[in-house]
Amino acid sequence: MSTSLATAVRHQPPPVIAEPVIQCEDVTKRYGRTVIHEHLNLEVRRGEIVALLGGSGSGKTTLVRQMLGLESPSSGRIRVLGEEWANMNTETARMLRTRSGMMFQQGALFSSLSVYDNIAQPFRELGKIPEDLIREFVMLKLEMVGLSCKHATKMPAALSGGMIKRVGIARAIALEPELLFLDEPTAGLDPKASDEFVDLIATLHRALGLTVVMVTHDLDTMVALSTRVAVLADRRVLVAAPVEEAVAVDHPFIREYFLGRRGRRALLALPPERRARLPAVALDDAPLGLR
Ligand SMILES: Nc1ncnc2c1ncn2[C@@H]1O[C@H](COP(=O)(O)OP(=O)(O)O)[C@@H](O)[C@H]1O
Ligand SMILES: [Mg+2]
């Protein structure tokens, strides 16, 4: 963990939730005859950490890819930082890409490049940045994600799972983006590495005033980090609300995901004032099947 940065921002208030920065309006997405999203709506505001939840195949990754302009909706609109992907010229699209960082579960790093070259890659893509400046940036990013510069020359294969994610984040924040997209960032990490990752994202959220959209299956990560959860079910966003409100929605996915034993245990980690707003069914100790 980058203790210096974590300590510096610990007493800083979290970013103020401000204007909408991602707007999905009436989005329908089809692959052939398969409808993935139908009349889906979701708004994300600056400073939020929104966790996208939903069953496997519910379209979480597809939604993130549309927010990034890597896929187009079949109908409807997706606006990012006020610009609609469908109406953008190449220069605006390029500029928008530098204002978003992303880390996908697969292919987080180029296996043939060192840690240094992985983090340097977004700078090199910009072109014409002197190497000594790139070096300074790379070392700063390594420090921000809590990695010592002695790891810079290592190859990804020599790193632990937790370190690979840190390097992935260092690369994602290389160009100091406003928006950070994470697709299942804690998948495959052990509980300790997961907790450290959560601390890192919380620190960067405060330090950089980031807006984060994060796909996650990990209940503990979701409860610890998200300002709101957006639940994908039935091809739309069923509810987008703080988790203590989302659990009150009567839907099979919500019951199964939040109100099982593990879900309820995770909800106990909410701060007391938010826990007090949980519906009674989420606080009941008896396993659901036994009632
Ligand atoms: N490029 C594609 N072509 C056809 N079908 C796709 C494509 N990408 C995703 N899908 C399908 O869309 C559905 C949603 O996928 P995805 O967004 O990856 O779900 P999730 O991330 O929630 O698990 C799945 O049924 C998947 O097979
Ligand atoms: Mg996915």
Residues 6+ apart with CB under 8 A from 215: 51, 52, 60, 61, 64, 182, 183, 184
Predicted pLDDT at 286: 53
pLDDT score of 115:
97
| Predicted local confidence at residue 127, as pLDDT | 86
What is the number of the ligand 1 atom nearest to the C-alpha of 59?
A: 17
Position in ligand 1 atom list of the atom nearest CA 60: 22
pLDDT of residue 212: 98
Mutation choice for ligand 1 from 33, 36, 232, CB with most ligand atoms inside 8 A: 36
Amino acid identity, position 248:
A
Which pair of structure tokens corresponds to residue 263? 């879900």
Which atom of ligand 1 lies at the shortest distance from residue 32's CA? 4
Q: How far apart are CA 242 and CA 278, in angstroms?
A: 10
Q: What does the pLDDT read at residue 283?
A: 81
Ligand 2 centroid, distance to 70 Cα (angstroms)? 14
Question: Candidates 27, 30, 31, 181: which one to mutate for ligand 1, based on the most atoms within 8 Å of Cβ?
Answer: 31
Please report the atom of ligand 1 found closest to the CA of residue 54. 22
User: Residue 291: what pLDDT?
Assistant: 42
For 286, the 3-state DSSP assignment is coil
- CB atoms under 10 Å from CB of 116, counted, come to 19
State the distance from the centre of ligand 1 to the C-alpha of 141, rounded, in angstroms: 33
Residue 290 pLDDT: 45
- Residues of the chain under the 50 pLDDT cut: 289-291
pLDDT of residue 182: 96
Atom 24, ligand 1: residue with shortest CA distance: 57
Nearest atom within ligand 1 for CA of residue 64: 17
Best CA proximity match to 266, nearest among 198, 169, 184:
198
| Atom 25 of ligand 1, residue of closest alpha carbon | 57
Instruction: List the shell of residues around ion ligand 2, using CB closer than 5 Å.
Output: 61
Distance 130 CA to ligand 1 centre (A): 40
Question: What are the tens digits of pLDDT across the range 149-199?
Answer: 999 999 999 999 999 999 999 999 999 999 999 999 988 899 999 999 999
Residue 14: per-residue pLDDT: 85
- What dotted CATH number matches 1-99+177-236? 3.40.50.300
pLDDT recorded at residue 208: 92
**Extents of the domains making up the chain:** 1-99+177-236, 109-176
Q: Which residues of 149-171 are buried (b: 16+ CB within 10 A; e: fewer)?
A: eebbeeebeebebbbbbbbbbbb
Closest residue to atom 3 of ligand 1, CA basis = 31
- DSSP code of residue 49: E
Pocket around ligand 1 at a 6 A CB cut-off = 31, 36, 54, 56-62
